[in-house]
Amino acid sequence: MSFRLIDWAAFAGLVFAIYLINRRSNRKLPPSPKGLPLLGNVLQMPKRNGWLLMHEWSKALGPIFHLNMAGQPVIVLNSNEAALELLERRSHIYSDRPRLIMTGEIMSQNLVVGFQRFGEQWKRFRKAAHAGINIRAAEAYYGIMERESALLVQEFHRDPKSWDDHLQRVIASSLFTALYGGEPMLNKNDPIVDQINDCMHRLTGAALPGAFLVDVFPILKRLPDWLYKPKGEGYQWYKKDNAMFNDWIDRVKKDMDGGSPPPSFGRVLLEAQKQFQLEDFEVPWLAGSMFGAGSDATAGSMRWFMLAATLFPDKIKRAQDEIDLVVGRSRLPTFDDRESMPYLRAFCREVMRWRTVAPLGVPHRLIQDDHYMGYHIPAGSIVLANIYSINRSPEAFSDAEEFIPDRFLNEEGTFEVLHPETHNQGHYTFGFGRRACAGMHIANNLLFINAATILWAFNIRKAKDAQGNEITPSATNYHDTGLIVRPHLWEVEIIPRSPEVLDMARERFAKGVNG
């Protein structure tokens, strides 16, 4: 009798297992490039510029496909329609982040807002960030950015060959002053620039798939530091960066104790710390991670702007004509001029769309099972928005490979026409849903005022070789530093548009933030 019961139990278990297998097999995943058994597509992914390969795959596989990364499903979205439906309209289940052990848990102790899991800590951080740098709050930093752009003119004038160093300085200095107060960094070799760049390159580099074994085999985190050395090194980097961020926020506290602190994001956080329910150890990292992410990405966007200025002289001439009409030649541009410069605004939007500084953004993670276009998307899937492809979606952008600022303007070129589901940006570079970049308004302000000031002050020309032939830089020679992608450096001629440019820039800088 017992034997028969065991037989029946085994038979029932076998039937149930077959049922589960069949049921699972009937769940149709999005298409996938052919991979290897067990490993799937792991060996097909390059260490750098994987978004380009994904873009090519999307041409054959469609707007949504999946990769099998040794059993981990990765869903890749390649059209604006797919990204808007999943990451925007269903953001309540697509706003998590994958577990990032090295960069998130070890190197930053889950204190970098961009890498945080979807939960109460992230919600507190996000609310505080929005309060300090939303579109209205960002206006408090206009004077800082205008003064910094005047210093940039002096640097370009004195040493045009180091133009990229000057761009990195002006972005880092503008952000640092907006976030922490204080005076501009007057030197391109200011150690703060190197410190924050090193920090963000470490963190973003550690976030790349396969960068550290502990992200593939989490059990390694339990090993002692001496046995798994990257773990110990990661904790040492955390201590170093933690000390750096605390030192910066202490500057704000000192200014506040003095009774007349300048406007800054750090001041907003400290004054409303209880309101935002931020712990003492969280405030320095929220400010620091906003500084790091913004500095790296916005400096990258400025390099793309310089490439566009080098490659498209006819479009630059049109932007300069607009600037001259609005500003004239007796002063530098200001934010008060922005509404009267629709073409320059469109030019900056096209820079962001044409060459996306973060082509894959930061991965999302699906919280629960979902379905889209007849496909099953399992819970726990990593979801990548291939923003490079999405910014080329044919239904949103015609002639997407071409650089066309007019795509954001009406036929008369007098006002902007923007896709309604782009957070009023016109492109998708700042991401989607609840995970859209909190610092987008600061980034836009920096790009606009520095682009306007550079074009007001200088002509940008292709450099020439020894034979007098123009040297045309490549638009597809990418430099991948983790999440951020920039063009490789090139030689360019930067020529003052009038003899008075330098004196006017010096005069504007001397007037200070309220000048």
Distance between CA 357 and CA 302 in Å, rounded? 10
Low-confidence stretches of the chain (pLDDT < 70) are 1-26
CA distances for 458 relative to 77, 119, 152, angstroms: 40, 48, 11
Tell me which H or E stretch contains 449.
helix 440-457
- CATH number of the domain at 63-510, please? 1.10.630.10
What is the pLDDT, as a whole number, of residue 260?
Answer: 80
CA distances for 8 relative to 12, 16, 19, 20, 142, angstroms: 6, 12, 16, 18, 77
Non-local CB neighbours of 445 within 8 Å, separated by 6+ positions = 138, 141, 142, 145, 335
Distance between CA 399 and CA 355 in Å, rounded? 14
pTM score: 0.91
What is the pLDDT, as a whole number, of residue 1?
Answer: 41
What is the pLDDT, as a whole number, of residue 19?
Answer: 45
Percent helix / strand / coil, the chain, rounded to 5: 55, 10, 35
Residue with tokens 């939303």: 134
Residue with tokens 């920096």: 446
Non-local CB neighbours of 415 within 8 Å, separated by 6+ positions = 342, 409
List alpha helices for 259-282, DSSP H.
265-271, 273-276
Known binding-site positions for heme:
437
Q: Are 461 and 336 in contact (CB under 8 A)?
A: no
Q: Are 340 and 416 in contact (CB under 8 A)?
A: no
Strand ranges (DSSP E) for 57-172? 64-69, 72-77
Classify residue 161 by its DSSP letter: G
What is the pLDDT, as a whole number, of residue 13?
Answer: 56
Q: Which two tokens stand for residue 465?
A: 């070789």
Distance between CA 162 and CA 158 in Å, rounded? 9
Known binding-site positions:
437
Q: Where are the domains of the chain?
A: 63-510
> Whose CA is closest to 265, among 286, 241, 237, 244?
286
Q: Work out whether the CA dihedral 443, 447, 450, 452 comes out positive or negative.
A: negative
Classify residue 366 by its DSSP letter: -
Classify residue 332 by its DSSP letter: -
C-alpha angle 392-302-469 in degrees, rounded to nearest 5: 90
Q: Which two tokens stand for residue 435?
A: 């995970």
Q: Are 394 and 379 in contact (CB under 8 A)?
A: no
Distance between CA 477 and CA 481 in Å, rounded? 13
What is the pLDDT, as a whole number, of residue 346?
Answer: 97
Q: Which two tokens stand for residue 371?
A: 């379905």
What is the pLDDT, as a whole number, of residue 7?
Answer: 52
